[in-house]
Chains A and B, each alone.
Chain A
Amino acid sequence: MGRTLFDKIWDEHVVADLGNEVALMHVDLHLMHDLGGGPGFRMLAEKGYRVRNPELTFATADHAVSSAPGRTEDTNPVGGRLLRMLRAASAANGIRMFDLGSDGQGIVHVIGPEMGLSLPGMTIVCGDSHTCTHGGVGALAFGIGSTELVHVLATQTLVQRRPRRMRVTMDGAPAAGVTPKDMILHLIGLVGAAAGSGFAVEYAGAAIRALGVEGRLTICNLSIELGAKIGMVAPDDATFEYIAGRPMAPKGEMWERALAHWRNLNSDGDAEFEREVRFDSGALAPQVTWGTSPEHVIAIDGRVPDPDGAIDAGRRASMRAALEYMDLKPGARLEGLPIERVFIGSCTNSRLSDLRAAARVAKGAKVASRVRAWVVPGSTGVKRAAEAEGLDRIFRDAGFEWREPGCSLCVGANGEMVDPGKRCVSTSNRNFVGRQGPGARTHLASPVSAAAAALAGCLVDVRKLGVEPWKNS
């Protein structure tokens, strides 16, 4: 029987078979960030271990740094303490760090692929659930907890159970105004936020193949919101072109060897998946969430569902609590709902293609007076590239705030929050209760939908603005 992409990468990393589908796996790349990094090193020291392979771990600052223009590491004082802790521990342990202001600093899931650290066929872990993002380059990547993080530092391995395999095939070509974010949100609404639990997901089909690497990173990013800690796309020429020449990517003869290896990374024609899901991306409308789980998602021209229509009591309870928290009623339309904040950023949608798409919507227009809108590039690299082509000007002229790279308003760990009761259209990945601040109401959407909402002062159907189809770069 054929093997899946996932199986090929998994099998190549088994250090020891521990029986019953459990293996000791080699970790090729470990990424650390400011929130978990310092505490992780402290735990390592407390347990009396040392770093086994410092050359395979890299660190950066993202979660707890301020994104305010002109920020220093102490603009958010708690973040400054965490950053210094990580900086000192990285230096003491021989770990390379992309510090504030340097190329390579940014959201850990943006800089991995951008710097050429994240490569096809690698096992990649990070103490952050959105590590699944790196599956967009064809890596087997997943988030870990702090004890597992110490396990990786001490042994460069992890004990893992082989997950089941799911394939999601997205056919067709999305209409104008429908982006990779809408494709993956639709999937989560279709199968539910727990559907991927215990699975590694492979995304396939014409709509995935047509995407550039950045769009694939967005798709894989939300795997964890589907319940799957692993999501991946088989690497192809688009992947190899994207990686070639990046600072940490293999070069010369090493590149040729790597490339030959990577070309074998795909699922065999007769590979079997325990679950298959398929839909036509050509039929999709822009998606927006109404509730407090990413599965609480509808098309922008749809209506908020009635909890009484749900079969399970647990699901009904979750929907009722969500409606109350979001101050919405069953049957309500989302289009036209007034908003106060817009956040374009996060490891989901803060790459150059996202900012370009949002800028095309914002160009020559004005942010509504009731709205405070932020654009937070995912990395120092993205910020510089965007500024080089004048995107910052377009956003500023339209009344958006152009900020410094980091997680910012995605997480509320850096002093940046949405006020209680306020509505925020966010390009991030979590609309959880209190995620953007206690009482904050989050509507997840694509960068173009978010930009359009900023201009209109309410949720809008971006298709009505005559927006162009999604561009890969």
Chain B
Amino acid sequence: MEEFVRLRALAAPLMRDNIDTDVIIRIDRLVGGRPDEVGKYAFELLRYLPDGGENPDFVLNREPFRRAQILLAGANFGCGSSREPAVWALQQMGFRCVVAPSFGDIFFANCFQNGMLPVVMERRTVEAIAAEVEADAAHGFVTVDLQKQTIVSPSGKEFRFEIEPARREALLHGLDEIGMTMRREAEIAAFQSRDRNRRPWIYR
């Protein structure tokens, strides 16, 4: 997994609540589609017009947001379906970090499995950073520092964020969770042999 330590990049504001994973990537692009091609379908219904052309009104189609790597979003970002390609689609668009007041729980967990940093910040903080970015988009550079757990707005305002220590470690070092769990095989086997006596009906 790719590490995430520190990122200074353009940020794009998508300040609408409840952007769900169906909106991020439509199911029919997953059925039979290729996982490495989901990026071009990200936000399909917002990003493209019915004739297939780009919708110039959609914020992520506008300069300089097309080049943004940090997404500023409304509450409950990534709610809905558990589809992990929602994370892949954002990554393939170039995003490495999403900052929002809250996230869908499953999307949030999926981010960490893919080296994407989801940052939870108070709504007014995200709105304040978004306002700065919108006021001067060309200079809308935001710095996300996972080591220090801070976000610095374009004007230099610093905000601290909280993150679960184990997830921070895993991102900082690009650790693979499955590999780490495999090393605990003895504990898993011990659990199951105890459990088989206690709850034999589970093992059928």
Contact = CB atoms under 8 A, between A and B. Distances in A.
Interface string A63-87: 1100000000000001101100000
Contact of B102 (A15, A63, A194, A261): A194
B158 to A, nearest CB: 23
A314 B184 contact: no
Interface stretch (B60-68, B109-117, B136-144): B109-117
Given A20-B165, A313-B15, A145 B113 contact: yes
Interface stretch (A104-112, A156-164, A209-217): A156-164
A287 B130 CA distance: 35
B18 interface: yes
Given A313-B127, A314-B75, A26 B191 contact: yes
B2 to A, nearest CB: 13
B203 A55 contact: yes
B200 interface: yes
A171 to B, nearest CB: 28
Contact of B17 (A18, A119, A159, A318): A318
B113 A147 contact: yes
The listed residue with most A CB atoms (<10 A of its CB), out of B26, B82, B195, is B82
A18 B102 contact: no
Contacts of B31: 35, 63-64, 78-79, 82, 413
B201 A228 contact: no
A35 B200 CA distance: 31
A19 B76 contact: no
B82 A55 contact: no
A430 B22 contact: yes
B103 A159 contact: no
A258 B204 CA distance: 13
A313 B124 CA distance: 10
Interface string B51-77: 000000000000000000000001110
A122 B199 CA distance: 10
B28 interface: yes
Contact of A35 (B18, B30, B185): B30
Contacts of B28: 412-413
Question: Which of B18, B127, B181, B203 is the most central at the interface, judged by chain A CB atoms within 10 Å of its CB?
Answer: B18
B84 A194 contact: no
B188 A197 contact: no
A31 B78 CA distance: 23
Contact of B164 (A22, A154, A254, A312): A22
B135 interface: no
Interface stretch (A326-334, A352-360, A364-372, A433-441): A433-441
Interface in A394-446: 411-413, 430, 432-435, 438
Contacts of A154: 178, 181-182
Contacts of B37: none
Nearest to A28: B202
A24 interface: yes
Interface residues of A, number: 80
A63 to B, nearest CB: 8
B20 to A, nearest CB: 5
B23 A434 contact: yes
Contact of B201 (A81, A119, A411, A434): A119
A338 interface: no
Nearest to A319: B17
Contacts of A47: 178
A228 B74 contact: no
A81 B103 contact: no
Contacts of B202: 28-29, 56, 119, 122
Contacts of B203: 55-56
Given A55-B204, A157-B181, A227-B79, A314 B84 contact: no
B76 A194 contact: yes
A284 interface: no
A159 B181 CA distance: 8
A433 B178 contact: no
B82 A127 contact: yes
A312 to B, nearest CB: 6
B45 interface: yes
Interface string B156-172: 00000000111000000
Contacts of A22: 164, 166
A313 B15 CA distance: 8
A224 B80 contact: yes
B16 interface: yes
Contacts of B187: 15-16, 24
Nearest to A64: B31
A176 interface: no
Contacts of A373: none
A82 B22 CA distance: 20
Given A15-B187, A434-B23, A143 B82 contact: yes
Contacts of A194: 17-18, 75-76, 79, 102
Interface string B76-99: 100111111101000000000000
A227 B105 CA distance: 7
A128 interface: yes
Contact of B20 (A52, A56, A432): A432
Nearest to A229: B105
Contacts of B199: 121, 258, 261
Given A22-B164, A293-B18, 12 more contacts: A16-B187, A49-B182, A129-B106, A144-B82, A146-B84, A155-B182, A194-B76, A248-B204, A318-B74, A430-B80, A433-B23, A434-B22
30 contacts: A16-B184, A24-B188, A26-B195, A35-B31, A49-B178, A64-B31, A121-B199, A122-B202, A129-B80, A129-B82, A129-B106, A143-B82, A145-B113, A147-B114, A150-B178, A155-B185, A157-B181, A227-B79, A254-B200, A257-B200, A258-B201, A314-B16, A314-B127, A317-B15, A412-B26, A432-B20, A432-B22, A433-B20, A434-B22, A434-B23
Interface of A: 15-16, 18-20, 22, 24, 26, 28-29, 35, 39, 47, 49, 52-53, 55-56, 63-64, 78-79, 81-82, 119, 121-122, 127-129, 142-148, 150-151, 154-157, 159, 161, 163, 193-194, 197-198, 224, 227-229, 248, 250, 254-255, 257-258, 261, 292-293, 295, 312-315, 317-318, 321, 411-413, 430, 432-435, 438
